[in-house]
Amino acid sequence: MFPKNKFTLVAFALLTLSALIIAGCSSDYAAIANQNSADQVVQEDQVGGVILRVANHPIVQTDPALISSDSEVFVANAVYDYLVDVDARSNLVPRLATEWSVSEDGLVYTFTLAENVSFHDGSPFSAADVVWSFDRLRDPELGFASSSLYSNIVSIEAAGESSVVFTLESPNPFFLYDLSDNHALMIKNGTTDAGDFNGTGPFTVVEYNPEDRIILQANPEYFIAGQPLLDGVEIIFFPDDIAMIDALRGGQVDLVMRMSTALFESLQTEDGIETVAIPTNGFDLIRLRSDREPGNNPLVIEAFKRATDRQAILGLVHQGFGAVGNDSPIGPLYDSYHDASVSPASRDVEAAKALLADAGYPDGIELTLHVPDSGSRPDLAVVLQQQWAEANIFVEISVEPESVYYGENGWLEVDLGITGWGSRPYPQFYLDVMLVSGAEWNEAHFADAEFDALAQIAGSTLDEAERIAAYSQIQQLLVERGPVIIPYYFAQFGAINTAFAGFELKAFPGRTDLRTIFQP
Amino acid sequence: MTTKLDQVQVQNAAAFRGRRFVGFVKGLFRRPASALGTIIFVLFALTAFFGPWLAPFEANEIIYEEARLAPSAGHWFGTDHLGRDVFSRVILGARDIFMLAGLGTLLSVLIGTFLGLISGYYGGWFDEILMRLFDSVMSIPALLFALLMLGTLGPSRESVLWVLVIVYPPIVARVVRSVVLGEKQKSYIASARTQGEKTSFILFRQLLPAVYPALAVEAALRFSYAIFLTASLGFLGVGVQPPNPDWGLMVNEARRTYTQVPWALYFPAGVIALIVIGVNLMADGLKQALRGEE
């Protein structure tokens, strides 16, 4: 790797310097650097017509019940269909279910299915497939993360070929949103290998090369006439966000979603690229494990909160894109549920120090802050480290690849971590999976009876006013004693080649609808 | 009892050493290129030493209202995307990289010299085994080897030091051994043996001085490689971890924002190139100066 003779080394050093300068001055660098991969793209094109080339992170899981990353959802959303979908403004829209009705007591939901739907293998889609798919997702013995989400379902029954009836144990005002959960994709009744891409979706899989790319072709039998508008989609896997952006600049890919604010800003002046920023309810969750020292002491939790300047963090880490957080996952985008009058106490370093001293840490506290290397989280960690140090909270930052951070469920074990949470169409989801006692992803190990009761009310009442009141109390409670800090709600970014139109970015980019993108 | 003659000899010896040093320094400054290299190195060393007094800000001090400022009188190298003073970070990073690369080089040279002396002097099966072992270490490119090691040890400053101390001693040992192999054939070593001198005396008082010139050049080169390797690992994100003001790490972080804050990338990248070039020019001068002396 290193040149043997020193003249070569000097030349190498000079070359490195000039390469860096060139990299800084010109985006053509990206074009040169990616020339090889571009050749590869051209050679491997197997689908004719208008192809959208999307840069995304590599996928690991292909079984809809197991997918979790944004890129995995993105692929699944192209290959499979949801029963009910959510549009870019969080409204429920039909997909495989063309219409539905709810009984007065809120317990029975009846769905009418679209006609002439078939799986990619040619077999027809029917109500039995819906029953089978949801029974699989809710079976506690199979152990999928979705089983708790659907534990409220008493029965799912087919009423003829094209109608399905769901019966609930207790009313769930968000049930339709639950049905549009990322995992709730319809697979074929009796499938033994659910990761084989046999969906009903707008695109069929032509070729899947793990860690390289996945090539999709428009499904000619798709049940919505005229859709999708594209002839194919090629999802090229990149391990690195910067490489994705360089590939977009160099014209090797057409669409990139999910990127840091800095990268997004760097695209603003680029010709031929349209940048899109939308507000979301996604956030970075700074959480302290509250079931053991030091997080089990409420004074310590309060000290962390008082040591944090959320407004300054938003300004530095996201250049003001997004909104300031209030330590609760019920952000300002949930119009009626967000309580603007509830906000965390402003930063007070002395108060934080005093709290720590009262908690038995007069000389401060030392912890390791675990951070995935994605997005702006490392920057957030750096700013937090500075802010907290002033209040005697000394953290060592451990930046980890996402695969390490989430691998082996390490993120649920560590004392102090930063986890990114994507935007969801309604807030109850966060409470149910992240904050109620014993929830699957309760990474803070938060257990609070009052909170649990409020979350229960909010998630079950059919009385909207009662729900709003419960959410308000929840926000107040989390601000006061939740072992979590939510410093901001971020914006979601996307960038697409101007040769394409019809792109509507969703808050959860993996759910972006590929069916409506076209080349004018 | 000390005789007058002894005192004269001591004085003469001191004067001789003094003249040698002056001659050596003159040799180093004889050519403009090596003079420049030496000046760069000395400035770098001074910066590393006096950094905390020179730097106007703390390395990780965030100046909230002054993020992303271009170079100015207040911030000579501008501020980065989080509002940290780039000049201070570069200055304070000098000490980090100097300590890490310097300590790594020092340990590598000590270990390498010791092994090289023994291996070259004794020869035989010990030499054979050691050299094959070194061959196997050296057959793996340094950066690749470092990545493998850091993958196992986990990224940290200590791990980087371990990498340097494992990757470089074989190279130093080879150089030392080759000098020793030639030197031990000479008659003064043979006569020392005949006189029954202790092996430690022969190794460290007779052979070691003969190795010095080659060793000085090798040490300087190792140092520049160590800087480059440390910076490369920081850049790849597997070396020194944020928010340390490691130059390689700074280049990596600034890469994300280079269109908005290019200065945060240019200055750390520039100093890496500068110091590597400087140390190499100096190593070249060292070689000339030591050869001239002979």
For the stretch B101-147, pLDDT in tens is 999 999 999 999 999 999 999 988 999 999 999 999 889 888 998 99
User: Among candidates B277, B286, B287, B290, which has minimal Cα distance to B37?
Assistant: B277
Which tokens hold the place of A231?
A: 């002839």
- Please answer yes or no on whether B64 and A316 come within 8 Å at the CB atom: yes
Q: Cβ(A359)–Cβ(A400) under 8 Å?
A: no
Mean pLDDT over A312-338 rounds to: 88
Instruction: From chain B, pick out residues whose CB is under 8 angstroms from the CB of A374.
Output: none
> Residue A418 has what pLDDT?
97
H or E segment and range at residue A167: strand A163-168
Amino acid residing at A66: L
Q: According to the 3-state scheme, what is the secondary structure of A120-145?
A: CCCCECCHHHHHHHHHHHHCCCCCCC
**pLDDT band for position A13 (cuts 50, 70, 90):** low
Q: What percent of chain A has pLDDT over 90?
A: 69
Scanning every residue of chain A, which has its alpha carbon at the shortest distance from the alpha carbon of B242?
A397
Q: How close A263 gets to chain B, by Cα (Å)?
A: 6
Amino acid residing at B122: Y
CA-to-CA dists, residue B97 to A132, A292, B78, angstroms: 61, 38, 21
- Please answer yes or no on whether A17 and B269 come within 8 Å at the CB atom: yes
- Please answer yes or no on whether A10 and B281 come within 8 Å at the CB atom: yes
Mean pLDDT over A323-351 rounds to: 91
Q: Residue B89: phi, psi to the nearest 5?
A: -65, -40
A37-51, A259-273, A311-325, B224-238: the lowest-pLDDT one: A37-51
Mean pLDDT for chain A overall:
89
The yes-or-no verdict on residue A426 having pLDDT over 70 is: yes
- CB neighbour burial string for A69-103, b if at least 16 within 10 angstroms, e if fewer: bbbbbbbbbbbbbbbbbbeeebeeeebbbeebeee
Which residues lie below 8 Å from residue A302, measured CB to CB, with a gap of 6+?
A352, A355, A481
DSSP A313-354: HHHHHHTT-SEE--SSS--TTSTTT--TT--PPPP-HHHHHH
Which tokens hold the place of B285?
A: 């001068």
Collect the ranges in chain B with pLDDT lower than 50: 1
Pairing mode of beta strands A365-372, A416-421:
parallel
pLDDT digits (tens, 9 = 90+) for A487-519: 999 888 999 999 999 999 988 899 999 999 999
Instruction: From chain B, pick out residues whose CB is under 8 angstroms from the CB of A347.
Output: none
> Residue B210 has what pLDDT?
87
**pLDDT band for position A37 (cuts 50, 70, 90):** very low
User: Could you give the angle at which helices B263-293 and A6-25 cross, rounded to 10 degrees?
Assistant: 170
Alpha carbon distance A197, A187 (integer Å): 9
- Please answer yes or no on whether B228 and A2 come within 8 Å at the CB atom: yes
pLDDT digits (tens, 9 = 90+) for A130-163: 999 999 999 999 989 889 889 999 999 999 999 9
- Please answer yes or no on whether A316 and B280 come within 8 Å at the CB atom: no
The yes-or-no verdict on residue A353 having pLDDT over 90 is: yes
Mean pLDDT over A10-29 rounds to: 50
Q: Residue A394: phi, psi to the nearest 5?
A: -105, 115
CA-to-CA dists, residue B91 to A367, A473, B88, angstroms: 28, 50, 5
Instruction: From chain A, pick out residues whose CB is under 8 angstroms from the CB of B78.
Output: none
The Cβ-side half-sphere exposure at B44, using a 13 Å CA radius, reads: 28
**pLDDT band for position A7 (cuts 50, 70, 90):** low
> Residue B9 has what pLDDT?
63
- Please answer yes or no on whether B259 and A266 come within 8 Å at the CB atom: yes
Mean pLDDT over A97-112 rounds to: 94
CA-to-CA dists, residue B28 to A9, B209, B278, B283, angstroms: 20, 19, 13, 9
The yes-or-no verdict on residue A20 having pLDDT over 70 is: no
**pLDDT band for position A261 (cuts 50, 70, 90):** confident
Tell me, what DSSP letter sits at residue A487?
-
- Per DSSP (E only), the strands in A401-472 are 416-421
Q: Cβ(A134)–Cβ(A100) under 8 Å?
A: no
- Distance, first Cα to last Cα, chain A: 48
The yes-or-no verdict on residue A1 having pLDDT over 50 is: no
The reply to whether B258 touches chain A by the CB within 8 Å rule is yes
The reply to whether B141 touches chain A by the CB within 8 Å rule is yes
Which of A6, A9, A242 has the CB atom closest to B255's CB atom? Answer: A242
Complex ipTM more than 0.85, yes or no: no
Instruction: From chain B, pick out residues whose CB is under 8 angstroms from the CB of A20.
Output: 251, 265-266, 269
Pairing mode of beta strands A153-158, A365-372:
unpaired
The yes-or-no verdict on residue A30 having pLDDT over 50 is: no
> Residue A43 has what pLDDT?
41
Q: What is the pTM of this model?
A: 0.72
Q: How close B124 gets to chain A, by Cα (Å)?
A: 28
> Residue A401 has what pLDDT?
81
Query: Hey, which residues 33-72 in chain B have their CB within 8 Å of chain A?
Result: 60-62, 64, 67
**pLDDT band for position A197 (cuts 50, 70, 90):** very high
- Please answer yes or no on whether B62 and A316 come within 8 Å at the CB atom: yes
Torsion B133-B134-B140-B142 (CA) sign: positive
Q: How close B229 gets to chain A, by Cα (Å)?
A: 9
Mean pLDDT over A26-52 rounds to: 52
